[in-house]
Structures are given as structure tokens and as C-alpha cells.
């Protein structure tokens, strides 16, 4: 427990120190997100490179406090590759297909390190397909969720905290320490990314969060009591998964490309509904905490109770999706009391 707390504190302090440095560097070299009057409504350009500060704080805190093992090195190598991909993408020179290929190659590095989905009832090839689908989906889900000040980082904190609780309950100190490092680095960044944000994490940070949470969720043990507990990571990471599936459904129904930027996301529809940025982000944190708690409960519930949790959660998700579909994204936005709307969708149409 001492190592876990020490790693968390190191990561948080390093992030608090490193994020302003990254901001100054981004401003110096004009690595900024500029308002375009369409999807990006911040009042002035906001620098990127926050994701690089998150990654360095995470890595350095582990280097000071943690003894690396084989699977940990695989996660760190995969995270490093994703960070490089995101950094190149933040410069606007990476096509969606190239980025997707890089993500798939990163997943195979994780598989080679022994980090994969393993379900005894399924054939090995199907486990591998599910691993690639899970990882690529989560990497892009957090990238899609990074559309509002404090949203992706805060949801990442809540999700990582729930996974850390699962790891501690399972006695997996190593995974818990890595999650503590992620929580600390995200909290330090959130100090500067809270509305109105002075720095964004960019694709660098969003894809890194998605990869780390996806990979570390596969290391955990879930189905000791009953098989439905295998769905626990889906609950814990439910907010980005729900938003991604909702956006994909809306764009499919409208005949739009999946990677085209549009105001169809759950948080942006809540803004249209009249909530402020702070209210939307806080509501997203609360939803993430509730579903994360249900995910933890799912592990220890009997089969009948677990089935009830799944039915209730599915019904709640469908009801939320139905309500969000009723929001007219073409109407003028109803703005709640909010000093500076800073809704920022991904940096270019090809990656939203």
C-alpha cells in the first residue's frame, strides 16, 4: 500500500510540474487547437501536448517506485507507441487508416506480452479477435470522448480508480500500482484541463488513456463466482463505450462517415439540452462512478443478482440513448450559465 500511495503522489506532482512546461512548449512551437466556428468554440487557441506530460509523469513515477515485470514492460511499450502515434496525429500528418494500423500493431505487442482476453469457453482465435476489438475500440473511444474540458481525463480517473479497487481486491499489487500512477498523472493534468481549460491532452493523451485502461482491465480476474462478471470491465468503462456506440449509431443512421466530426456525442447533446460544461462533465463523472460501482458489484454478486444488474443497466442505457436522440443538434444551442463554452471536438475531421 505504501508503494501505491507513493507512486500516486509522484505521478500527481510530476504531472502538476510537467503540464505547464508542456503548455509553454506547445505555445512556443504553435502546437495549438484553433477555434473554427463549427465544432470548436473555445474563445482562443488552446495548446496541446498535455498528453505528453501525462505519459511522462506516469512513466517516471513507475520508474522511481516500481519493479518492472514482463507484462508491465509490454504495457509501457504499447503505451509509448500509442503516444508517438498521437503526437504525430496532433501535428495533423497522420491519416485515420495509418493511425488504425498503428493501433492494431500496438495491440499485437500487448498480445505478445501475454496481455489478452482469455475466456475458457471460447476458441483461441476468437479470444484474439475480441482482444483486438476491445483494445482498438477503447483507444478510439477515449479519443472520441475528448471533446470537452476535463471530460476524458476525469472519466479516466474514475474508471482507473474502479479498476484499481478490483486489482486490490484480487491481490494484484502490480496492476494496482500502475493504475495509481495513471490516476495521479491524470489528476495533475486535470488541474489545468478543468473548465476553462488552458491545455488539451490531444490525441496523444486520449489514446494513451484508452490503451492503458483497456490493457490493464484485461489483466484483472473477474469470473471467479459466475460468468456474467466477465462484463465488469464493460461497466467500468461504460461511459466512453456508450458514447462511441451512440455516435456510431447516429452516424450510421444519417449515412455519415464514422470518422467525420459532428455534434452527435452525448456530452454535446447535453450541452444543447441546456447544461453547462461543468454540469455535463460532473454528470459524466457520476455516471462513470455508478456504472463502475455496478461493475465491481457484478464480480461478487450471484448469478441471479448479476443478471438483474445487466438488465437494469441495459434498460438505463437504452433510455438514455432514446432521450439523447430527441435532442435537436441543428437548433441553436441553449447555453446555461457558463463563463466560456470550451467545447472542442477532435482536432480534424478525420479523427473525430
Q: Is 203 annotated as a binding residue?
A: yes
CB atoms within 10 A of CB 350: 17
Model confidence pLDDT, tens digit, residues 10-31? 999 999 999 999 999 999 888 8
- Pair 155, 286: CB distance under 8 Å: no
Spatial contact of 150 and 198, defined as CB atoms under 8 Å apart: no
pLDDT greater at residue 346 or residue 39 = 39
Taking the C-alpha atoms of residue 272 and residue 332, their distance in angstroms, rounded to an integer, is 8
Lowest mean pLDDT among 117-126, 205-214, 287-296, 317-326: 117-126
Block residue for cell numbers 511522462 = 56
Share of the chain above pLDDT 70, in %: 89
For residue 309, name the pLDDT band (cuts at 50, 70, 90).
Answer: very high
Residue with cell 463466482: 225
Among 44-58, 147-161, 211-225, 234-248, whose mean pLDDT is lowest? 211-225
Q: Which residue has the cell 463502475?
A: 292
30 marked as part of a ligand binding site:
no
Q: Are 147 and 344 in contact (CB under 8 A)?
A: yes
Structure confidence at residue 64 (pLDDT): 81
Mean of the pLDDT values across residues 90-110? Answer: 87
What pLDDT is recorded for position 259? 63
Mean of per-residue pLDDT scores for the chain: 86
Rg (CA), the chain: 19
Amino acid at each position: 500500500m505504501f508503494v501505491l500511495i507513493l507512486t500516486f503522489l509522484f505521478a500527481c506532482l510530476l504531472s502538476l510540474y510537467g503540464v505547464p512546461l508542456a503548455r509553454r512548449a506547445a505555445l512556443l512551437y504553435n502546437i495549438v487547437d484553433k477555434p473554427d466556428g463549427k465544432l470548436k468554440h473555445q474563445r482562443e487557441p488552446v495548446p496541446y501536448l498535455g498528453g505528453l506530460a501525462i505519459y511522462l509523469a506516469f512513466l517516471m513515477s513507475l520508474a522511481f517506485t516500481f519493479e518492472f515485470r514482463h507484462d508491465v514492460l509490454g504495457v509501457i511499450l504499447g503505451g509509448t507507441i500509442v503516444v508517438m502515434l498521437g503526437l504525430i496525429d496532433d501535428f495533423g500528418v497522420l491519416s485515420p487508416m495509418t493511425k488504425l494500423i498503428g493501433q492494431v500493431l500496438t495491440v499485437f505487442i500487448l498480445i505478445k506480452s501475454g496481455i489478452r482476453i482469455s475466456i475458457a469457453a471460447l476458441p483461441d482465435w476468437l479470444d484474439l479477435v475480441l482482444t483486438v476489438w476491445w483494445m482498438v475500440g477503447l483507444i478510439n473511444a477515449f479519443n472520441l470522448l475528448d471533446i470537452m474540458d476535463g471530460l476524458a481525463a476525469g472519466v479516466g480517473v474514475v474508471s482507473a480508480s474502479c479498476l484499481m479497487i478490483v486489482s486490490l481486491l484480487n491481490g494484484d499489487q502490480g496492476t494496482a500500482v500502475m493504475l495509481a500512477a495513471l490516476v495521479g498523472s491524470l489528476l495533475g493534468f486535470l488541474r489545468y484541463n478543468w473548465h476553462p481549460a488552458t491545455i488539451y491532452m490531444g490525441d496523444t493523451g486520449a489514446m494513451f488513456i484508452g490503451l492503458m485502461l483497456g490493457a490493464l482491465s484485461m489483466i484483472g480476474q473477474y469470473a471467479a463466482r459466475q460468468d456474467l462478471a466477465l462484463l465488469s470491465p464493460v461497466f467500468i468503462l461504460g461511459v466512453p463505450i456508450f458514447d462511441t456506440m451512440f455516435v456510431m449509431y447516429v452516424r450510421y443512421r444519417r449515412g455519415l462517415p464514422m470518422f467525420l466530426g459532428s455534434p452527435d456525442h452525448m456530452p454535446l447533446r447535453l450541452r444543447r439540452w441546456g447544461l453547462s460544461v461543468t454540469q455535463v462533465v460532473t454528470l459524466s463523472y457520476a455516471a462513470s462512478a455508478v456504472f463502475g460501482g455496478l461493475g465491481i458489484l457484478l464480480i461478487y454478486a450471484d448469478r441471479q443478482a448479476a443478471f438483474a444488474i445487466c438488465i437494469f443497466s441495459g434498460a438505463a442505457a437504452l433510455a438514455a440513448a432514446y432521450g439523447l436522440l430527441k435532442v435537436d443538434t441543428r437548433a441553436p444551442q441553449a447555453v446555461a450559465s457558463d463563463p466560456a463554452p470550451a467545447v472542442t471536438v477532435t482536432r480534424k475531421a478525420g479523427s473525430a
